[in-house]
Amino acid sequence: MPALPAPVVTIGLLMASNLFMTFAWYGHLKYKAAPLALVILISWGIAFFEYMLQVPANRIGHGVMSAAQLKTIQEVISLTIFAGFSVLYLGEPLRWNVVLGFGFIALGAFLVFVRLPTAN
């Protein structure tokens, strides 16, 4: 069986890592009565697994993609996962202005990947 291409592996790992990080950063918002110190410790524990996926993703992807492209992919994934998380887990509506703002960020991300002609 042939190995998966590096960009596919990288994006898959970045998606999984971001899901962990989203829970580490925002999952506790459903449990505001929990002591802050406990929430921080739990978040660190969750973030450990995020790093176990994020670091290999960047190692595998770098060289095939630039560091700027890797960061851009991570940010787009982050916004996409966060949008779903906030609706499905936190029960918050996804308002039009948030969608538009995320769209502008996606447009900026597109520019990172476009090969524009260089000036001579």
74-117: per-residue pLDDT in tens?
A: 999 999 999 999 999 999 999 999 999 989 988 888 888 887 77
At position 39, the amino acid (one-letter code) is V
Radius of gyration over every alpha carbon of the chain, rounded to an integer in angstroms: 17
For the chain, domain boundaries: 6-113
At position 65, the amino acid (one-letter code) is M
Identify which of 74, 36, 38, 37 has the alpha carbon closest to the alpha carbon of residue 54.
74
Residue 1 confidence class, pLDDT cut points 50, 70, 90: low
Structure pTM? 0.84
Output the CA torsion 67→70→76→80 (10° steps). -150
Phi/psi at 39 (5° precision): -60, -40
